[in-house]
C-alpha cells in the first residue's frame, strides 16, 4: 500500500493567462480539502480588445497577487510558515504572465525555506476533477476542452498521461471566441454564445464536423479540427447578409454550439470505448457549457460509462487545481522543482516529469 502523508498543505498560484489566482489546498488522511480559492478576473478589461492582451495581463497579475495572497491566507486560517510547499504554473501559457506567478512562488518558497513545485497547466486541469465528492478511479479518459486546448488524455496512476487525441488548429474555446466575434457578440465567446443559443434552433443550419486526414489513409479517429467549421459559419453569415434582413443570431449560435458538442461527445465516447475504459471525465473552461454537459451525460449513460464533470466553478483557470496537482506530485514523491526552473509558453504534458529534475528543462 502506498504511503499517504497525514497532512500536506500547499500554497498555489496560477497566472498563465488572464486569471490571477491563489489557493490553499490540503491533503489530509487521503482526502483533499480546499481551504481557500481566490480569483481576480481580467475578463472585462480584455473584453474591450476582443481577446487577451499579454502586456495588460502581466501587469494586472503583478497588481493582484499581493492582495490575493493575503486574502487566501486569511481565508484559510494558515500562515506561509505552515505550508509544506509553494506551487505555481510554469507552462504552458503567456510567458510574461507565467513569470509573474513563477517568480512570486519561487521567491516565497526560497525566503521561507519551502520546496517549490512548478506545475504544468494542463496537469492542473486534469487534477481539478479530484476536488469532486466522488473522483474517478484511474485509469480513465479525460476530455480537456478549453480556450487553448482540446485534447483527449488517458490518465493512469502516479501522474501518468497519454495524449490520444488533439485539435490540429483552433481549440474549441478559441473557435467559440472567433465565431462570437463574427456574430457581433461579446468576449469571452463561450458564455455569450451559450446565452443566445438557449433561444435558437440547434438544427437550423447544417454545419460540418471537421475531420483530420491521416497521411496513411482515412482519418485520425480522436483528433479535432474547427477551422472548417469557422469557415462554414462565415459563409453562412455572408449568405444570410446578402439576402438582406436581420441575422437569425439565436439559430446561428445554437447550431454552432450543438455541432461542437456533437463532435466532442462522439469522439470522446468512441475513444473511451476503444480504450476499454469505464470512466470519462470533462475538464476545462468549455466543460462549463450546459449543452455539452447534458449531451455527454446522455451519451455516457447510453454506453454504460461513468461520467465525471469538473465543478463549474473549477472549469476555468484557478489555483485550486494547481495546488491539487502539486499535492499529487508530493504524494508520488517526485521531489521538488529546481529554483532555477523558468517558464515556457509551450511544453508537452508527456514531459511534465522533467519539471522536477535537478537540472531545469528551461
H/E element holding 165? Answer: strand 160-166
> Which of 3-17, 130-144, 171-185, 326-340 is predicted least confidently?
3-17
Strands in 116-120's sheet, in edge-to-edge order, are 31-41, 19-28, 7-14, 85-91, 116-120
Please report, for the chain, the start and end positions of each structural domain, with discontinuous segments joined by +.
Answer: 7-128+315-356, 137-309
pLDDT score at 51 = 83
pLDDT score at 44 = 80
**Among 116, 142, 128, residue whose Cα is nearest residue 25:** 128
- Residue 2 pLDDT > 70: no
User: Mean per-residue pLDDT for 6-24?
Assistant: 95
H/E element holding 33? Answer: strand 31-41
- Residue 6 pLDDT > 90: no
d(CA 139, CA 113): 36
pLDDT digits 0-9 by tens, 164-215: 999 999 999 999 999 999 999 999 999 999 999 999 999 999 999 999 999 9
**Mean pLDDT of all residues belonging to the chain:** 95
H/E element holding 241? Answer: helix 227-242
State the CATH architecture for 137-309.
2-Layer Sandwich (3.30)
Same fold, 7-128+315-356 and 137-309: yes
- Residue 97 pLDDT > 60: yes
CATH number for the 7-128+315-356 domain, one of 3.30.420.40, 3.50.50.60, 3.30.70.141, 3.40.50.2000? 3.30.420.40
Strands in 306-309's sheet, in edge-to-edge order, are 160-166, 150-156, 140-145, 279-283, 306-309
* Cell numbers given for 98: 507565467
pLDDT score at 157 = 80
> Which of 40-49, 71-80, 224-233 is predicted least confidently?
40-49
What are 36's strand-pairing partners?
Answer: 24
d(CA 99, CA 101): 6
| Other CB atoms within 10 A of residue 245 CB | 7
- Residue 46 pLDDT > 90: no
- Residue 118: pLDDT band (50, 70, 90) is very high
Who's near 208: CB < 8 A, 6+ residues apart? 228, 229, 232, 259
Amino acid at each position: 500500500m502506498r504511503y499517504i502523508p497525514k497532512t500536506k498543505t500547499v500554497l498555489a498560484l496560477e497566472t498563465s493567462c488572464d486569471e490571477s489566482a491563489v489557493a490553499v489546498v490540503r491533503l489530509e488522511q487521503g482526502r483533499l480539502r480546499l481551504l481557500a480559492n481566490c480569483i481576480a478576473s481580467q475578463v472585462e478589461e480584455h473584453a474591450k480588445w476582443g481577446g487577451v492582451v499579454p502586456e495588460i495581463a502581466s501587469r494586472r497579475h503583478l497588481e493582484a497577487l499581493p492582495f490575493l495572497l493575503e486574502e487566501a491566507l486569511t481565508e484559510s486560517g494558515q500562515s506561509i510558515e505552515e505550508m509544506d510547499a509553494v506551487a505555481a504554473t510554469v507552462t504552458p501559457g503567456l510567458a510574461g504572465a507565467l513569470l509573474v506567478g513563477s517568480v512570486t512562488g519561487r521567491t516565497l518558497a526560497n525566503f521561507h525555506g519551502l520546496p517549490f513545485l512548478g506545475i504544468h497547466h494542463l496537469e492542473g486541469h486534469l487534477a481539478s476533477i479530484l476536488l469532486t465528492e466522488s473522483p474517478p478511479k484511474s485509469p480513465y479518459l479525460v476530455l480537456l476542452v478549453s480556450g487553448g486546448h482540446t485534447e483527449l488524455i488517458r490518465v493512469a496512476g502516479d501522474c501518468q498521461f497519454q495524449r490520444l487525441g488533439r485539435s490540429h488548429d483552433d481549440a474549441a474555446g478559441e473557435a467559440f471566441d472567433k465565431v462570437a466575434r463574427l456574430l457581433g457578440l461579446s468576449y469571452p465567446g463561450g458564455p455569450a454564445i451559450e446565452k443566445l443559443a438557449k433561444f435558437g434552433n440547434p438544427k437550423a443550419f447544417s454545419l460540418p464536423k471537421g475531420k483530420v486526414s491521416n497521411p496513411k489513409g482515412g482519418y485520425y479517429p480522436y483528433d479535432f479540427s474547427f477551422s472548417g467549421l469557422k469557415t462554414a459559419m462565415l459563409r453562412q453569415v455572408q449568405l444570410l447578409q446578402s439576402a438582406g434582413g436581420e441575422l437569425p443570431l439565436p439559430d446561428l449560435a445554437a447550431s454552432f454550439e450543438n455541432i461542437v458538442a456533437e463532435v466532442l461527445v462522439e469522439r470522446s465516447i468512441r475513444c473511451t470505448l476503444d480504450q476499454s475504459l469505464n470512466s470519462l471525465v470533462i475538464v476545462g473552461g468549455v466543460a462549463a457549457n450546459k449543452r455539452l454537459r447534458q449531451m455527454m451525460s446522455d451519451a455516457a449513460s447510453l454506453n454504460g460509462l461513468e461520467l465525471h464533470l469538473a465543478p463549474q466553478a473549477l472549469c476555468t483557470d484557478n489555483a485550486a487545481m494547481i495546488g491539487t496537482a502539486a499535492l499529487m506530485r508530493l504524494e508520488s514523491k517526485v521531489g521538488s522543482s529546481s529554483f532555477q526552473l523558468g517558464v515556457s509558453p509551450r511544453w508537452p504534458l508527456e514531459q511534465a516529469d522533467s519539471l522536477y529534475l535537478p537540472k531545469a528543462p528551461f
